Structure 1
Amino acid sequence: MAATQFVVNGLLVGALFAGVAVGFALIWGVVDIINLAHGEMVMLGGYTSYWMLTLVTGNAEGSPLLFLATIPVAIAVLFGIGYALQRTLVSRVIGTDIFLTLLVTFGASIAIQQLAIQAWSANPRSIQVSFADPSVNLAGIVVPKMKLVAFAGALVLTALMYVFLQKTRTGRAIRAVSQNPEAAALVGIDVEHTRAVTFGVSSAIAGGIGAFIAVILNIQPQMGLIYTLKSFIIVVFGGVGSIPGALIGGLLLGSVEELVAGFISSQWTLAVSFSLLIVLLILKPRGLFGQGAEQ
């Protein structure tokens, strides 16, 4: 029963990891850079929701509906930040040496961290959402209601991302730029604008997930690195360019980490995750679902 409880907890948290990783994969696939500042978008999304709720209620507490009303705000704010970041900074190093792009995005992550510390201090914060009954018991498995809400929200955001890429004109433009930016430009697509929109959309979904993270975990300015690392593991694990792969990879990573934390120690979670990634890359270098960029 204990193992089942750990797996359920892992799936609930893994959906959040997957949502963050989807945005990370989008930038990697379209803009062709590894965005080391992606985790900071998660952090800023959490703080946006936190401060919006504080503005309305006087503290970071409220009903589930009031909290959910802050999600579109976090998404909109982070879209603007991501778009501006690409236009003003990242666009200057696209197509240059990969080491330079890593330095630029790493520098952006450190700058955002330090600005957040100066603005809000390094003290951990969280959003408190009130339920009459905070958890449900399903066949002996205790599931916090807020984790269920966060799980559902992460799946909805991931699904919306997939539909956006597949069904909208902007989504098709993003996929065209991902596959062949020169050909996309020849048919009239504004490649730089599309890349900036991609950055904005990636940051928006990370911000929305960050808001959900704020209700089940503490948020603080230096939390971004761990989510960037987990996103990297998930994207490589699931296959670069595959949104379904990122979703399944996130659920698997969450389950593995909860089992390791429950039966061994939480200090071993990253070590085990990276070890599994190395084994997978040896056995299946393209990841589980890395069959092409079209997904």
Structure 2
Amino acid sequence: MAIAQFVVNGLLVGALFAAVAVGFALIWGVVDIINLAHGEMVMLGGYTAYWLLSIATGTAEGSVLLFLATIPVVVGVLFIVGYALQRTLVSRVIGTDIFLTLLVTFGISIAIQQLAIQAWTANPRSIQVAFADPSMVVGGLVVPKMKLVAFAGAIVLTGILYLFLQRTRTGRAIRAVSQNPEAAALVGIDVEHTRAVTFGISSAVAGGAGAFIATILNIQPQMGLIYTLKSFVIVVFGGVGSIPGALTGGLLLGVVEELTAGLVSSQWTLAVSFTLLIVLLVVKPKGLFGTGADNEH
């Protein structure tokens, strides 16, 4: 029963990891950079929701509906942040040496961290969502209600992104730029604008996930790095360029981390995750849903 509880907890948290990772995968596939500032979008999303609730209630506490009402605002704010970052900074290094893109996105990450520390201090904060009974029991397993809400929210964010890419004109433009930017430009697609929109969407999804994360975990200005690392593991694990792969990888990572923390120690979670990643890459180099490499060439 204890193992089943760990698996349930891992699936609930893993969906949030997946929602963060799909944005990371999107930038990697379309803009062709590894965005080391991606985790900071998660952090900014958490703080945006926190301060919206603080303004509304004075204490960053409220009902589920009041919290959910902040999500569209968080998504909108982070879209603007991501779009602006791509237009003003990232676009200048696209197509250059990979180490330069890593340095630029790392510099953006550090700058956002330091600005956040100056603005909000390094004290951990969290959003408190009111429930008459915070947990429910299903089949003998304890399911925290807020984790269940966050799980549903993460699945919705991931699902909306997937449908957006498949069913909308902008989504088709994004996929076209991902596959062949030169050909996309020849048929009239504004490649730079499309890349900026992609960056904005990625940041928006990460920010939305960050808002849900703030309800179940503490947030602080330097939390971004761990989510960037997790996103990298998930994307490579699931296959670069695959949203279903990122979702599957996120759920698997959540389960692995919860089992490791519960059966061994929380200090071993990252070590076990990266070890499994290495083993998978030896056995299946393109990841579980490895379509990314095929799409890009």
Q: TM-score, normalised by structure 2?
A: 0.98
Q: Distance in 1 between matches of 2:99 and 2:147?
A: 38
Q: Distance in 2 between matches of 1:171 and 1:151?
A: 25
After superposition, where does 1:41-190 map in structure 2 within 5 Å?
41-190=41-190
1:196 alignment partner AA: A
Q: Distance in 2 between matches of 1:6 and 1:266?
A: 13
Match of 2:273 in 1: 273
Q: Distance in 2 between matches of 1:78 and 1:206?
A: 8
Superposed displacement of residue 72, structure 1: 0.5
SS of the residue corresponding to residue 285 of structure 1 reads coil
SS of the residue corresponding to residue 142 of structure 1 reads strand
SS of the residue corresponding to residue 137 of structure 1 reads strand
Q: Distance in 1 between matches of 2:184 and 2:108?
A: 29
CA deviation profile, 1:247-269 (whole Å, cap 9, x unmatched)? 00000000000000001000000
Q: Distance in 2 between matches of 1:198 and 1:97?
A: 21
Superposed displacement of residue 294, structure 1: 5.7
1:36 alignment partner AA: L
Q: Distance in 2 between matches of 1:194 and 1:163?
A: 17
Report the identity percentage.
84
SS of the residue corresponding to residue 53 of structure 1 reads helix
CA deviation profile, 1:140-159 (whole Å, cap 9, x unmatched)? 10010000000000000000
After superposition, where does 1:259-270 map in structure 2 within 5 Å?
259-270=259-270
2:97 alignment partner AA: D
Q: Distance in 1 between matches of 2:6 and 2:257?
A: 9
| 1:8 counterpart = 2:8 | yes
Assess if the C-alpha contact under 8 Å between 1:175 and 1:294 holds in 2. no
CA deviation profile, 1:16-73 (whole Å, cap 9, x unmatched)? 0000000000000000000000000000000000000000001100000000000001
Match of 2:255 in 1: 255
Q: Distance in 1 between matches of 2:115 and 2:230?
A: 23
Match of 1:215 in 2: 215
2:206 alignment partner AA: A
Q: Distance in 2 between matches of 1:52 and 1:214?
A: 12
Superposed displacement of residue 139, structure 1: 1.3
Match of 1:238 in 2: 238
SS of the residue corresponding to residue 126 of structure 2 reads coil
Q: CA RMSD in A?
A: 0.9
Superposed displacement of residue 291, structure 1: 2.2
Q: Identify unmatched segments of 5+ residues in structure 1.
A: none
When the two structures are aligned, how many residues end up with a matched partner?
295
Q: Distance in 1 between matches of 2:291 and 2:249?
A: 15
SS of the residue corresponding to residue 164 of structure 1 reads helix
SS of the residue corresponding to residue 275 of structure 2 reads helix
Q: TM-score, normalised by structure 1?
A: 0.99
Q: Distance in 2 between matches of 1:89 and 1:290?
A: 30
Match of 1:22 in 2: 22
CA deviation profile, 1:82-108 (whole Å, cap 9, x unmatched)? 000000000000000000000000000
SS of the residue corresponding to residue 157 of structure 2 reads helix
Q: Identify unmatched segments of 5+ residues in structure 2.
A: none
Change (3 A) 1:294 1:133: farther
CA deviation profile, 1:156-180 (whole Å, cap 9, x unmatched)? 0000000000000000000000000
